[in-house]
């Protein structure tokens, strides 16, 4: 990706290296088995993991935005977030609306969030309660290593997917889904959650479509990096690696093929209307 001249977002809170708010606990990034359960847990990972009980810790010290010359990872993710802001601001403007940008919270190990306590093993997630995206940047080592999806655009896909959940929240989609899920059985809830996640993948594709048009940030091979990342986090791929078998009724994010397909659709069409994952089978 060509991010050298990109604007760095100021909507970043940096809690890396600060106390997590839960003394005495040590958090690691987790194994692939944990990632099967926790990665990209959509609306509220803590609810899905049954961890919403006594999970709230004290708030960490005030955050500071990344920006020091030596903070390569922090500056890069801030530039990626800035690129998402530029694209979605323009898309919303064309629709006669304002885009309220989310905040990106960087943390290490664990951190108190508006959705409960965030742990690195959950993977990146979006919390609609405080409209923040939570990421432990060490996850990208897992993405490149265990999940075999390296590259800066693979990382951008992860961020753009979570920002896609923010767009869903702003448009009211998440609230409608949560209300509908309350009267559903487990399998139906899972199926509905898959549609939520695939739409966020499609929105990530829309971002890539316009980011390249507006800023020419894509380089040869970038879209392929994004597709590898989408395939790597498909439910079938993760389940097969973790347990040697695939259980479709337990899917919460979609198969590798579905995730790649919806990302490609958003990238190809660049239209919100093309991302209606709730229509049809």
Q: What residues does each domain of the chain span? A: 12-275
CB atoms closer than 10 angstroms to residue 98: 10
Q: Determine the Cα–Cα distance for residues 61 and 85; give it in Å rounded to an integer.
A: 26
Residue 269 tokens read as: 């069409």
Contact call for residues 95 and 76 (beta carbons, < 8 A): no
Phi first, then psi: give them for residue 160, nearest 5 degrees. -65, -35
CA distances from 198 to 203, 261, 278 (A): 9, 9, 10
Helix axes 173-181, 152-171, angle to 10 degrees: 80
Query: Which DSSP string do the residues of 164-185 spell out, in sequence order?
Result: HHHHHHHHTHHHHHHHHHTTS-
Could you read off the pLDDT tens digit of each residue along the chain, which spans 281 residues?
998 777 899 999 999 988 664 433 222 333 333 344 444 444 444 444 333 333 333 344 444 556 566 788 999 999 999 999 999 999 999 999 999 999 999 999 899 999 999 888 889 999 999 999 999 999 999 999 999 999 999 999 999 999 999 999 999 999 999 999 999 999 999 999 999 999 999 999 999 999 999 889 999 999 999 999 999 999 999 999 888 999 999 999 999 999 999 999 999 999 999 999 999 76
Q: Determine the Cα–Cα distance for residues 198 and 255; give it in Å rounded to an integer.
A: 9
């Amino acid at each position: 990706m060509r991010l050298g001249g990109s604007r760095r977002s100021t909507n970043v809170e940096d809690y890396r290296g600060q106390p997590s708010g839960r003394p005495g606990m040590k958090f690691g990034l987790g194994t692939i088995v944990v990632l099967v359960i926790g990665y990209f847990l959509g609306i509220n990972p803590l609810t899905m993991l049954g961890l919403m009980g006594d999970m709230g810790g004290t708030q960490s010290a005030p955050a500071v935005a990344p920006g020091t010359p030596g903070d390569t990872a922090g500056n890069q993710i801030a530039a990626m977030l800035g690129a998402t802001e530029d694209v979605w601001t323009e898309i919303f403007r064309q629709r006669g609306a304002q885009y309220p940008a989310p905040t990106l919270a960087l943390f290490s190990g664990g951190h108190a969030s508006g959705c409960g306590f965030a742990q690195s093993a959950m993977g990146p997630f979006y919390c609609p309660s405080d409209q923040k995206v939570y990421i432990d940047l060490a996850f990208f080592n897992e993405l490149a290593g265990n999940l075999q999806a390296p590259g800066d655009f693979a990382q951008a896909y992860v961020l753009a997917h979570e920002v896609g959940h923010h767009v869903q929240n702003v448009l009211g989609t998440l609230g409608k889904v949560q209300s509908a899920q309350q009267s559903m059985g487990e399998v139906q809830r899972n199926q509905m959650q898959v549609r939520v996640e695939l739409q966020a993948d499609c929105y990530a594709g829309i971002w890539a479509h316009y980011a390249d048009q507006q800023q020419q940030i894509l380089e040869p091979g970038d879209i392929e990096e994004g597709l590898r990342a989408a395939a790597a986090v498909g439910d079938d791929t993760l389940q097969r690696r973790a347990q040697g078998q695939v259980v479709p009724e337990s899917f919460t994010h979609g198969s590798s093929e579905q995730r790649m397909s919806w990302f490609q659709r958003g990238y190809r069409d660049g239209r919100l209307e093309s991302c209606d994952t709730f229509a049809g089978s």
